[in-house]
Amino acid sequence: MTDFWTVIGSSSVEDAREIDSALERISERLSTMTPAALTRFAERLQESLYRIDRRDLAELPVVLAGGLKLPQTSDHFLYARCACILAGEKAFADVLSSGAGFDHFVAPFAQEAEGLLYLAPEQYERQTGSRMTVDSDFSIESMSNVQGWAN
C-alpha cells in the first residue's frame, strides 16, 4: 500500500507553475498504482479535505492584487484546501491544528490546485475503462455542509 502523503509529497505552492508541477508529479506516481490503491488514495483525499472543512478557514477572505477582499465561494474554499494538501503533510498538520498558514492557500493562484480532485479518478478510468466509485463518509458532495457552514 502506498502512503497518501508519500504520493502527495510537498510543494511550496507559491504560484500556479508550482501547483502544476506538483500535480504532474502526483499524476506520475498515481499512474503506477493499482485501481484498488487509486480508490484508497481518493478516499484519503476526501477525508483530508473534510478534516480541514472548518468555518474559520472558510471565512478567510480572498485578497486580490489591488487589495480588494472578497469572501470565498464554496468552490474556492474546496480548491484552497486542495492547495493546502499539495503543500504536504506538515503544512496540512499546521492548518489542521491551528489554522496557521491557510491564508496562503486562499490566494487566487491556488485555485489551480482543483486538478488534485481529478487525478486518481482519471487514472482509474484509464486503467479500468470505468468510473471510480468511492464509498466514503467524506464525499466531496457532502462537504461544506457537514461542518455546519455553507455559502
pLDDT in tens, 13-57: 999 999 999 999 999 999 999 999 999 999 999 999 999 999 999
The x, y and z cell numbers of residue 144, run together, are: 461544506
- Contact between 72 and 81 under an 8 Å Cβ cutoff? The reply is no
**Left, alpha or beta for 60 (phi > 0: left; psi -120 to 50: alpha)?**
beta
The pLDDT score that the predictor gives to residue 134 is 84
Q: Is the pLDDT of residue 129 over 60?
A: yes
Rounded CA gap, 91 and 8, in Å? 12
- At 26, which amino acid appears? I
Range 61-67 average pLDDT: 91
Average pLDDT, the chain: 89
Quote the pLDDT of residue 100.
92
101 has pLDDT over 80 = yes
Looking at residue 137, its pLDDT comes to 65
pLDDT at 140: 53
Per-residue pLDDT, averaged over 63-71, amounts to: 92
pLDDT of residue 144: 42
Specify the pLDDT at position 2. Answer: 62
Does residue 135 carry a pLDDT above 90?
Answer: no
From residue 16, give the alpha-carbon distance in Å to each of 21, 26, 47, 117. 9, 15, 24, 16
Say what the pLDDT of residue 145 is: 41
